[in-house]
Amino acid sequence: MILTSIELNNFMCYAGPNRFDFKEGINVIIGDNGYGKSKLFDAFYWVMYDQCFNTSLKAFRSTSQLKRLIVSDKSIAEKDQGQITASVVLTFQNVEKDSIYILERRYNVRKVGDDIMEDVESEEIVSHKEMSILNARVVTDPVKIDTIKKSILPDNIKPYMWFQGEQVESIIDFNKETTLTQAINVLSNITRFDNIIEVADSLKESSNKELNRKQRDLSRDRGASESLELERQEILKQIKNFELQELQIKDNLAKAEERSEMLLNKQAEATKIRELEERRKAIEKNLNQVQFEFNTEQVNLHKRMFTNKWVLKGTEGLLKEYEKLYDDFEKKKLKKDEARIAKINAENEIIKEMQTRLPIDVPEPIHVQTMLDAQRCLVCDREAPKDSEAWKKIKELLDRSKLKLKSLNEEDQPLQNFSPDFKKLYQNGLGMSHIISRIDEDVANTFENLQKLSKKRKTLAEDLKKVEEEINALIADTSLNVADATGLLNEYSIQNDLARRSLTDVNNLEHLINKKRDNLESINKKLSDLVVGEMPSYLNEKVKVLLEFHQVAHSTRKRVFNTLVKMLEEEANKHYLEMIQGNLSVRGVIKLKELSNGKHYMPELVDQEGNVLLQLNTGNIILIKLATIMAIISARQGSRDTELYTLITDAPMSVFGEDYTIGFCKTVSNVYKQSIIMSKEFYRNEKLRKELLTNSEIKLGKVYLITPSIPENDRTNRNSLSTIIKPLN
């Protein structure tokens, strides 16, 4: 959508009918301060959003608040009686669809004698014209009008396409979490991931509650479970409070870090301070690591009673005593086994001897039973009274078919055989003996490591204090006046003290949170131990899946967010390097530095080794922010925002040097299909203006020079004020 023209009639300082025509490329409106550039920007904004920018309040105000200020003083003064109308008409052409949209806004006042009667609201007229149709069709449906406006300039990219130079600071103030999130949302809708995280948090909490309820239902001691649950809820509440405190402290720490760097950046003699600051950061980073290791060692100290088996210290004699008892037990067991084997062997010999007398079942069992019943041997025809030796020999022939050889395994075993358990205990003892023998050495090493960390922490803290004192001394010795130097020194000290205290508070809170989480884990274990029977497998699986979903949601959001920040950084550097090509000063690279809270980012310049470049002037800072604004639009992958929508900005180059101004125009003309820039830089500098008009690297649209109809020194009376528009190409 290309903006082809703007027509202003009695709008503010544009008395009577006025018109600007625009083309593709960079269109420049040149004028000195107070010549009507900002009012022209207001005209664009007023048509679209029924608002104008109040420079004194640095905020937009609606027509209902501004009222007669919308209308040209000259038009009111020249009108004797009756209605005076201020109007602005914007004409947009959609080349692809061969159609034109005409947006007009009007506001009326009526002059009755010396009184001015003001309308409450403005009137909006939107027309749509297809090139194949001669007459434009007025659009009255509010929904359709809103759709047309969003096709001209979508809400999400509006802050980065239409802005005052004064708004640059607030547009790219990445210390505000919402500012960065809004910028990232233009690249990719990061709020979708936030919604997923919200769902994941809710599902995780819901599944845990369901699990806890089921555990209480299956508890063998409902009272104990209820008591543990109350304790668990209290710990969860404490953890949440600690985490909120930690978040607030990290926010304060991030602000202190950002403010400290800004103060350092203002120093005229910042080279030494920069070196010391980098050293301070390295020491601070090392100190944080040592502090973390020290805290971890302290947290793990009591755990080692069990994880490193320190609780077994002094049990060496028990192992030897058990070894002797186990040896005696094995010897006695071996003797019993030998006796059993001897008994089995003797019985098996008898069975073998019986089985060699006659084949099995010869004579047949019925004949043997007949002899036993008759108490007479039918072979030798001798008597064999019952239970006599002869009778028993005959009976052995009947019983031998039931006999079989015995093995040791078939012998009756003792009812309680603890031999495998005793052996396992003995083997465990052997394994533990090596650990027990090293406990003293392990304890000594642990405490020695704690002492080393404590000593190292103290040394680093002293080094950090010395470096900070040296930085403060250098700041005090700079060429700043006493008031500025004192204020700067005090604020720098305050910010560093705040950062140091915040860092200590964060470490302490992390330690407390870890302890509470250990307590929580212990309570969950107790609740689980009280469960009788088996927990439903679906519920365990549900908790596991939702926990994994929760972890993936959070890690994915962070990864995507960091990727988009990196994309934004790369695109900003591309625009930044294009804008500073004509300047010979140190360039540096834009780095979006993540602050301590992990939410806020601060644009800064670094050299090729990653060192922060201090001593940045206001022009450098604004260039960085403008490069980032352009990056927000141009980095949208798969979009055509720089081709579809027009960049309109007022006085973005007011603090640039001459080389930066031309570089900015080159970059903007190459990035955006159409842009409209209001600028004072080309007004007095004829050489710069000539380069704008002749430089082949600038894709130039229309250039206008605007001046007031009355001299600057005679503008106390605005009743004769109008604006003269002069095309320069």
pLDDT single digits (tens) 382-430: 888 888 888 887 777 776 555 555 555 555 555 567 777 877 887 777 7
What is the separation of C-alpha 417 from the centre of its chain, rounded to a whole number of angstroms? Answer: 60
Strands 647-650 and 162-164 come out as parallel
Reading the block at residue 179, the tokens are 């500012």
Q: Which of 37-41, 62-66, 567-571 has the lowest mean pLDDT?
A: 567-571
DSSP helix/strand/coil, 604: strand
Q: What is the pLDDT of residue 476?
A: 55
Q: Per-residue pLDDT for 484 more than 50? A: no
The average pLDDT across 65-91 equals: 93
Task: Please state the φ and ψ torsions of residue 640, each to the nearest 5 degrees.
Answer: -125, 35
Q: Which of 312-326, 342-356, 541-555 has the lowest mean pLDDT?
A: 342-356
- Calpha distance 318→330 (Å, rounded): 18
Q: What is the pLDDT of residue 380?
A: 81
Q: What is the pLDDT of residue 564?
A: 83
Q: Per-residue pLDDT for 356 more than 70? A: no
Task: Please state the φ and ψ torsions of residue 378, each to the nearest 5 degrees.
Answer: -80, -5
The average pLDDT across 24-45 equals: 92
The answer to whether 207 and 542 have CB atoms below 8 angstroms apart is yes
Q: Which of 245-259, 417-431, 646-660 has the lowest mean pLDDT?
A: 245-259
Angle between helices 365-374 and 389-399 (to 10 degrees): 160
Secondary structure of 101-161 in HEC code, one letter for each residue: EEEEEEEEEEEECCEEEECCCCEEEEEEEECCCCCCEEECCHHHHHHHHHHHCCCCCHHHH
Q: What is the pLDDT of residue 487?
A: 55
Q: Per-residue pLDDT for 10 more than 80? A: yes
Q: What angle do CA 330, 331, 334 make, to 5 degrees?
A: 85
317-343 per-residue burial string, b: 16 or more CB within 10 A, e: under 16 = eebeeeeeebeeeeeeeeeeeeeeeee
The average pLDDT across 161-173 equals: 77
The average pLDDT across 61-69 equals: 91
Say which residue the tokens 């937009």 belong to. 60
Burial class of residue 556 (count of CB atoms within 10 Å of its CB; 0-12, 13-18, 19+):
middle
Q: What angle do CA 448, 449, 454 make, to 5 degrees?
A: 100
Enumerate the β-bridge partners of residue 109.
84, 118
pLDDT digits (tens, 9 = 90+) for 500-523: 777 788 788 888 888 998 998 899
Q: Per-residue pLDDT for 581 more than 70? A: yes
The average pLDDT across 708-721 equals: 73
Q: Per-residue pLDDT for 615 more than 60? A: no
How many other CB atoms are there within 10 angstroms of residue 442's CB atom? Answer: 15
The average pLDDT across 481-509 equals: 66
Cβ neighbours of residue 41 closer than 8 Å, sequence gap 6 or more = 53, 162, 164, 648, 649, 650, 678
The average pLDDT across 656-671 equals: 82
More confident residue, 173 or 111: 111
Q: What is the pLDDT of residue 583?
A: 63
HSE-CB for 207 with a 13 A CA cutoff: 20
Chain-wide mean pLDDT for the chain? Answer: 81
The average pLDDT across 175-179 equals: 64
The average pLDDT across 541-563 equals: 89
What is the separation of C-alpha 509 from the centre of its chain, rounded to a whole number of angstroms? Answer: 20
The average pLDDT across 77-87 equals: 92
The answer to whether 42 and 694 have CB atoms below 8 angstroms apart is no
End-to-end CA distance of the chain: 23
pLDDT digits (tens, 9 = 90+) for 99-140: 899 999 999 999 998 899 999 999 999 999 887 676 778 999
Q: Which of 495-504, 524-533, 558-567 has the lowest mean pLDDT?
A: 495-504
Enumerate the β-bridge partners of residue 727.
704
Q: Which amino acid is at 548?
A: E
Q: Which long-range contacts (CB under 8 A, 24 or more apart) does 573-577 make?
A: 573/627, 574/631, 575/626, 575/627, 575/630, 575/631, 575/634, 575/667, 575/671, 576/623, 576/624, 576/627
Q: What is the pLDDT of residue 483?
A: 44
The answer to whether 671 and 630 have CB atoms below 8 angstroms apart is yes
Q: What is the pLDDT of residue 3?
A: 95
Cβ neighbours of residue 347 closer than 8 Å, sequence gap 6 or more = 406
Q: Per-residue pLDDT for 481 more than 50? A: no
The answer to whether 651 and 615 have CB atoms below 8 angstroms apart is no
Q: Which of 153-167, 270-284, 398-412, 633-647 has the lowest mean pLDDT?
A: 398-412
Task: Provide the pLDDT confidence category of residue 692 given band limits of 50, 70 and 90.
Answer: very high
Q: Per-residue pLDDT for 9 more than 50? A: yes
Task: Please state the φ and ψ torsions of residue 119, each to the nearest 5 degrees.
Answer: -70, 155
- Calpha distance 151→100 (Å, rounded): 12
- Calpha distance 503→495 (Å, rounded): 12
Q: What is the pLDDT of residue 596?
A: 60
Q: What is the pLDDT of residue 482?
A: 36
The average pLDDT across 553-571 equals: 86
Q: What is the pLDDT of residue 11?
A: 95
Is pTM beyond 0.75 here? Answer: no
* Rounded (to 5) percent helix, strand, coil in the chain: 60, 15, 25
Reading the block at residue 687, the tokens are 């050489």
Q: Which of 66-75, 370-379, 533-542 has the lowest mean pLDDT?
A: 370-379
More confident residue, 425 or 209: 209
42: enclosing H helix or E strand: helix 37-49
Q: What is the pLDDT of residue 485?
A: 45
- Calpha distance 328→331 (Å, rounded): 5
Enumerate the β-bridge partners of residue 160.
none
Q: In what order do the strands lie in the sheet with 674-679?
A: 162-164, 647-650, 674-679, 25-30, 700-708, 723-727
The answer to whether 26 and 675 have CB atoms below 8 angstroms apart is yes
Q: What is the pLDDT of residue 21?
A: 96
DSSP 235-282: HHHHHHHHHHHHHHHHHHHHHHHHHHHHHHHT-SS-HHHHHHHHHHHH
Q: What is the pLDDT of residue 268?
A: 46
The average pLDDT across 28-50 equals: 92
Cβ neighbours of residue 108 closer than 8 Å, sequence gap 6 or more = 83, 84, 85, 86, 119, 123
Q: What is the pLDDT of residue 47?
A: 95
Q: What is the pLDDT of residue 479?
A: 45
